[in-house]
Amino acid sequence: MDVGYVWDESKYEKTKEKHGVTFAEVVYAMEDPNSLDEQEFRNDEERWVSVGSTWEGRVIAVVYNCDEFPLYRIITAFQAEGSWLDEYRKT
């Protein structure tokens, strides 16, 4: 099944400016066969965090929801740190 990715333009611009993460990096990291996915809840909203590597080897965390699967709605993305980075490096 084909999946798609959407990202609100204003949220994307803020994320790109603040964290230096591009849409292409997000898609690449989410399609990383070694990516880790973890469910979380925020304000009663189900969200997921996917930690994966970009083509340059940069490990990023992508927060998204999949209420409209097979369409993933990207919320934010940033450099993976701490336990997320540690867990990813174990794969």
- pLDDT tens digits for 6-54? 999 999 999 999 999 999 999 999 999 999 999 988 777 889 999 999 9
Residue 52's H or E segment, with its range, is: strand 45-53
Average pLDDT (54-77) is 93
Whole-model pTM? 0.90
Residue 53's H or E segment, with its range, is: strand 45-53
Helices (H), 1-91: 9-19, 23-30, 82-90
Longest Cα–Cα distance of the chain, Å, equals: 35
Query: Residue 72: CA atoms inside 13 Å, Cβ hemisphere, count?
Result: 19
In the chain the domains, ranked by start, together with CATH numbers, are 4-90 (3.10.450.530)
